[in-house]
Amino acid sequence: MAEDPHAHQSIAATAARLAALLTGGGGGLRDANGNDLVFEDALDVRPLSRLAAPPDVWAVDGGQGLVADARCLQVYVTRAARVRWVDGRTVLEEEGALRAHLLGLGQDRMTLAALGVPVAPDSALDVNLLRDWGEWEATARCVDEAAPGAMVLVDGDLQPDWRIPAAWLEGLLATASTRSVTLVGVTKHTGLSWGGAPLLSVLEQRAPAELGPRKCWWVPVARTRPDVGAGIRVVVARLDPDARFSFRIDLPGDADPVASLGALAALSDDAAFPGYPYPLTVADRLAACPRWIRDEVWDRIDEVFDEKDVPFDVRERAFADRHRMMERY
């Protein structure tokens, strides 16, 4: 097949633009997700010292998987895992109940009512909201069960799905503060950028130049607007001197960032995942919904279809992946 000159030119132009963004020195903080953040005027890289780990640490992560897709109807599974880490060892590994959801036209209101999701009755429903609500439900239980002085780690930022009212998060943060529990959100992939380039990459290049290699550091980035509900402080931090990556970290507005990040760093020295809080790696593993789990759910659905005398050809017409079938040849 002859080479398409237009394709070559577009690929080359895209690559050149991307190279300029990744290596350029442009400025300007932005959030690709469009959240209501007030950014710092400058990026101030600060050294970070590791402190003692909290005596009681909880971690929450959620998982999801698509079981079957009829385009107008989808079957998903979600779950939220919880881990408890006390005095340097895991004392609880809770996978979380596997929930199956039927999404599509006519199903949304039924699902919202069944799960008690605190959103407007006419809110659009998708699997992202369902997974997110499951995680925040689990987080609220952790706050209730945590000992005073505990830290509760959440995979992702401390800004729930936009459909969940800000007042709900305000109430959770108030409860945590009253119980002397610190909520911390740790985001592996973030839409924050500097001059169009990924902010974390920019800081991972800049911080060693300013502080030297093998240093822990943190950078204040933004705060939520005071008129948009709960006060959240956003920072970027490298939590282990051997870590390849830094992370976006969200803290309550009334938390001491130096103390909170120092305690978080004490949980982030695992040899396999340096720089990432170990309890969250355990929660991530527990929450996953791999292929075998989705297959088991579908097998159970098939059993119910048999009980309800749903013909096989009806099932196949609804859920067969025609693209995959065609691409095999």
pTM, rounded to two decimals: 0.88
Q: What is the pLDDT of residues 258-291, one digit of tens each?
A: 999 999 999 999 888 899 999 999 999 999 999 9
The token pair that represents 24 in the structure block: 């350029």
In this prediction, residue 317 carries a pLDDT of 83
CA 60-63-65 angle, to 5 degrees, is: 170
Give the residue-averaged pLDDT of 114-143: 88
Q: If 0-12 CB within 10 Å is exposed, 13-18 middle and 19+ buried, where does residue 91 land?
A: exposed
Kindly state the tokens that stand for 322.
Answer: 């025609």
Domains of the chain: 46-287 (3.30.420), 291-327 (no CATH)
Which of 134, 129, 143 has the alpha carbon at shortest distance from 79?
Answer: 134
Residue 219 banded pLDDT, cuts 50, 70, 90: very high
- 132 φ, ψ to 5°? -65, -45
In this structure, are residues 54 and 150 in contact, taking their beta carbons and an 8 Å threshold? yes
Distance between the two ends of the chain, CA-based, in angstroms?
Answer: 20
Q: What are the pLDDT digits (tens) for 8-32?
A: 678 888 888 788 777 765 677 777 7
* Residue-wise pLDDT tens digits, 231-244: 899 999 999 999 98
Look at residues 97, 81, 65, 79 and name the one whose alpha carbon lies nearest to residue 291.
65
Exposure on the CB side of residue 191, measured as CA atoms within 13 A: 9
DSSP character string of 103-125: EETTTHHHHHHHHT--S-TT---
Q: How far apart are CA 189 and CA 179, in angstroms?
A: 30
